[in-house]
Chains A and B, each alone.
Chain A
Amino acid sequence: MTKLVAMTGIEKRFPGVHALKNVQFDLHSGEVHALMGENGAGKSTLMKILSGVYTRDGGTVVIDGFDTAPDSPRAAQEMGIGIIHQELSLMNDLTAAQNVFIGREPRRRFGRLDEPALNRQTAEIFASMKLDMDPRAQVGDQTIARQQLIEIAKALSYKPRVLIMDEPTAALNDVEIAELFEVIRRLKADGVGIIYISHKMDEIKRIADRVTVMRDGAWIDTLDAAQTPLAKIIELMVGREVKDEPPVIPDTSGAQTALEVRGLRRGREIHDVSFSVKKGEILGFAGLMGAGRTEIARIIFGADPRDGGDILVHGQPCNIRSPYDAVGAGIGYLSEDRKHFGLALDMTVRANIAMAAMGKFTSKTGVLDEAAMKQTADGFIAQLGIRTPSDMQDVGLLSGGNQQKVVIAKWLLRDCDILIFDEPTRGIDVGAKSEIYRLLEDLAAQGRAIIVISSELPEVMRLSHRIAVMCEGRLTGILPGGADTTQEQIMELATRREAAPVGE
């Protein structure tokens, strides 16, 4: 096999961070090479060097046997290196097709655009991905999952020989992931080399040929995927053994109901949803993408208006009309889209953590107590293991998973009785995931009511004391948590398209 890419001795420093230390990496044509590591290990940084976004401080990048590192995204494209970035980077005001071909739009003379050709070529790429989408659809109107698929289509449109996928499946459901893997297999057969980054460990076994593990900016090992047990890979990533026990479901039969929802309705998206969560309970929400789970959370949180239904907090009817009301009633919501709704990326870790609880740090005269804010921020940085040079680092400069931890810290500080976590571990590594699970369990044990929305079934099953399943805006059933409930039972409810009586 020919080596498409060979990187050796790569060095990269950011102010206060030694992000890459003498890292090596290589890629053959026709292989899927998984790049694994904890949040902040340096995976994205390494790939940004390969794709011309960052310039390296040291080391060599050999592509096709030539010692030429791309010095710009454009140069990388011309060398046949395509990348799907971890953070969605699309232009929301443009259509899908316009996004896919940005920078290379089919032209007529005098810089005129050939819109029909643009839409036709995009439709062809969508078809090859079995993606049912109008090329003229506005990107901003699409769900995150579909935006991710557009991003993938964009990378494919370059007809790359090296394709970097930085957490492409973070927002996809199982069917979409299967489709994507089909595309990957076809690319492999055509001799494309694929670098695959993901925190979903099971995907490694399904798709990868080789695995390179990084930790703290350093190369640890490169292994054969088929022959290495997952536990071994995880151990290399984390530097210690990770144990993940099944949930111990507490007896909450005597506990008070913290949140009750009756007959919630909103347009065509939510039909007559009723459920309740007790203090100390973790209620998981399972369902396919677009089943309406996020919508329910947003309605309860007052972010979207409801057409009908009652929300009772601690048994009292509560007229929640805005997130301000919700927070006042002790409800917190961690959005699934942290970049847009969860964080102020240009502000520091400290400011972001304090954001939702400014009142705690404000003196009578309205002056902020920076010392107390620092202390609190440092506490969370230690507790959640947020990897940042200091609490004064801009959140936008943290790795994806660490940004998510900052969001969690922010809401933990707010000290709400009822916490809704929407995809809390999206883009979070295995080690941190089990930390977050433990954290959620601690919160429940302290008497808080927790709602967890997750598209990863193992996560829902690992965490939930009860599992609510939704399909097309309806609650199709509530299953008990624990080992007795199977994935099949959940999937059956998640795909039950007729309205069904709700069991408790």
Chain B
Amino acid sequence: MTTLTTDPTQTFASKLLGAFMHQRLLAFASLIVLLIVFSLASPNFMQTSNMIAILQATSVNGVLAIAATLVIITGGIDLSVGTMMTFCAVMAGVVLTKAGLPMPLGIVAAIGAGAFCGLCSGTFVAKLKIPPFIATLGMMLILKGLSLVISGTRPIYFNDTPGFDQISRGSLIGEVLPFLPIPNGVLILFLVAGAASYVLSRTVLGRYCFALGSNEEAVRLSGVNTDRWKIAIYALSGAIVGIGGLLIASRLNSAQPALGLGYELEAIAAVVIGGTSLSGGRGTIIGTLIGALIMAVLTNGLRVLQVAQEWQTVVTGAIIILAVYADMMRRNKSN
């Protein structure tokens, strides 16, 4: 083990290299490289409409990945974000379309449903001591089933709620700056990212996220009510999934009960590419955001280049392994 932490003699170049090797920057650099490669390969890629399409495609996965990041930093894992997203969308449909209530109540229903699901997962993990993998695997199936039962296996459309589709598809920015028609869904993604980032770095809740992932027993021995905080983190994560549910429902202008499975893995992939450690204790929202962007750029770019869908999946898989390998390399270097 090295004993030196800060070393004044370290050259600027090696510092820069060290900083570059930092996963977040590495991910960011990869994103830039991808953008350059694709824009050289195809003139269509860099068009504003395509860029906006990429951002729009990132929004749902990005929000889910942010939710997953919180749980993963505590050393847990959440396999239920995909079906939970669908469940929240269905709940919005129940309130808005089936009950015909006004839109704000639908929004509250979706976010509230997510928070409640998170609360349940968190309770299973913290109080019943069920490993997060199992607890959220159970939740994943429960919510998938519930979505189908509640919706009667049929999509719920939001045609009776004018403006619902604007949650994701409208563009508040575009109204002010007509040349920049960034959809609201993307705006929401960045707002959620900003808020989650703030919570992680500046609040007690965020501090305990990292502390729990780092050494839970030590936190407990420090007199912290670890169970309560863990449940709170899962609930917050669930609420963010609820926002994801709203985004997808609004984009499709319907709640599709059969959707959802597989989204959790995409979200986890984005988290991992973004440099968050699956063993907990380390991670950032900005990294996750970049991770989600990389995945969207990759999918979009390969499609623009007319690479077959099947190959896109292969490439994504390879990228995940590469990203984690780079992270391991960096950590081996630093100690």
Q: Which residues in A have some Cβ–Cβ distance to B below 8 Å?
A: 53, 72-74, 76-77, 85, 89-94, 98, 102-105, 107, 110-113, 115, 134, 137-138, 140-143, 154, 267-269, 290, 294-295, 298
A267, chain B: closest CB distance, angstroms: 8
Residue contact A72 to B214, C-beta cutoff 8 Å: no
Residue contact B221 to A91, C-beta cutoff 8 Å: no
Q: Is B309's CB within 8 Å of the partner chain A?
A: no
Q: Which of B162-215 contact A (CB under 8 A)?
A: 202-207, 210-211, 213-215
Closest residue on chain B to residue A290 by CB atoms: B3
User: If the complex has contacts A105-B207, A143-B3, A269-B2, are A89 and B221 also in contact, measured as CB distance less than 8 A?
Assistant: yes
Residue contact A93 to B217, C-beta cutoff 8 Å: no
User: If the complex has contacts A74-B223, A91-B218, A113-B204, are A102 and B211 also in contact, measured as CB distance less than 8 A?
Assistant: yes
B7, chain A: closest CB distance, angstroms: 8
Cβ-defined partner of A94 (8 Å) among B4, B204, B214: B214
A200, chain B: closest CB distance, angstroms: 23
Q: How far is the CA of A288 from the CA of B129 in the complex (A)?
A: 44
B171, chain A: closest CB distance, angstroms: 31
Q: How far is the CA of A53 from the CA of B301 in the complex (A)?
A: 56
Residue contact B219 to A102, C-beta cutoff 8 Å: yes
Residue contact A89 to B211, C-beta cutoff 8 Å: no
**Contact indicator per residue, chain B 3-15, by CB within 8 Å of chain A (1) or not (0):** 1111101000000
Chain B residues contacting A267 (CB-CB under 8 Å) are 2
Residue contact A93 to B202, C-beta cutoff 8 Å: no
Residue contact B205 to A103, C-beta cutoff 8 Å: no
Cβ-defined partner of A91 (8 Å) among B6, B205, B206, B211: B211
Closest residue on chain B to residue A145 by CB atoms: B3
Residue contact B223 to A72, C-beta cutoff 8 Å: yes
Residue contact A90 to B215, C-beta cutoff 8 Å: yes
Question: Mind listing 25 A-B residue pairs with CB under 8 Å?
Answer: A73-B222, A74-B223, A85-B221, A89-B215, A89-B218, A89-B222, A91-B214, A93-B213, A93-B281, A94-B207, A98-B211, A102-B211, A102-B219, A102-B222, A110-B203, A111-B205, A112-B203, A113-B202, A115-B202, A138-B5, A141-B5, A267-B2, A268-B9, A295-B1, A295-B2
User: If the complex has contacts A113-B204, A290-B3, are A73 and B223 also in contact, measured as CB distance less than 8 A?
Assistant: yes
Q: Is B225's CB within 8 Å of the partner chain A?
A: yes
**Additional A-B contact list (20), CB under 8 Å, known A74-B223, A107-B204:** A73-B220, A73-B222, A91-B210, A91-B214, A92-B214, A92-B215, A93-B214, A94-B210, A102-B218, A105-B207, A110-B203, A112-B202, A112-B203, A113-B202, A134-B6, A137-B5, A138-B5, A143-B3, A268-B7, A269-B3
User: If the complex has contacts A111-B204, A113-B203, A143-B3, are A93 and B210 also in contact, measured as CB distance less than 8 A?
Assistant: yes
Q: How far is the CA of A93 from the CA of B211 in the complex (A)?
A: 7
Residue contact B203 to A93, C-beta cutoff 8 Å: no
Closest residue on chain A to residue B217 by CB atoms: A89
Q: Is B22's CB within 8 Å of the partner chain A?
A: no
Q: How far is the CA of A72 from the CA of B282 in the complex (A)?
A: 28
Residue contact A74 to B225, C-beta cutoff 8 Å: yes
Q: Is B224's CB within 8 Å of the partner chain A?
A: yes
Chain B residues contacting A92 (CB-CB under 8 Å) are 214-215, 281
**Contact indicator per residue, chain B 298-335, by CB within 8 Å of chain A (1) or not (0):** 00000000000000000000000000000000000001
Closest residue on chain B to residue A294 by CB atoms: B1
Chain A residues contacting B224 (CB-CB under 8 Å) are 74, 102-103
Q: How far is the CA of A113 from the CA of B202 in the complex (A)?
A: 5
Q: Which of B238-297 contact A (CB under 8 A)?
A: 281-282
B18, chain A: closest CB distance, angstroms: 13
Q: How far is the CA of A154 from the CA of B223 in the complex (A)?
A: 12
Closest residue on chain A to residue B223 by CB atoms: A74
Closest residue on chain B to residue A154 by CB atoms: B222
Q: How far is the CA of A104 from the CA of B211 in the complex (A)?
A: 13
Looking at B3, B4, B210, B211, which has the most chain A CB atoms within 10 Å of its CB?
B3
B65, chain A: closest CB distance, angstroms: 20
Q: How far is the CA of A73 from the CA of B205 in the complex (A)?
A: 20
Closest residue on chain A to residue B283 by CB atoms: A93
Report the 10 A-B pairs with minimum CB-CB distance, sorted nearest first: A91-B214, A74-B223, A93-B281, A89-B218, A103-B224, A93-B214, A73-B223, A290-B3, A103-B222, A91-B215
Looking at B205, B207, B223, which has the most chain A CB atoms within 10 Å of its CB?
B223
Q: How far is the CA of A72 from the CA of B223 in the complex (A)?
A: 7
B122, chain A: closest CB distance, angstroms: 17
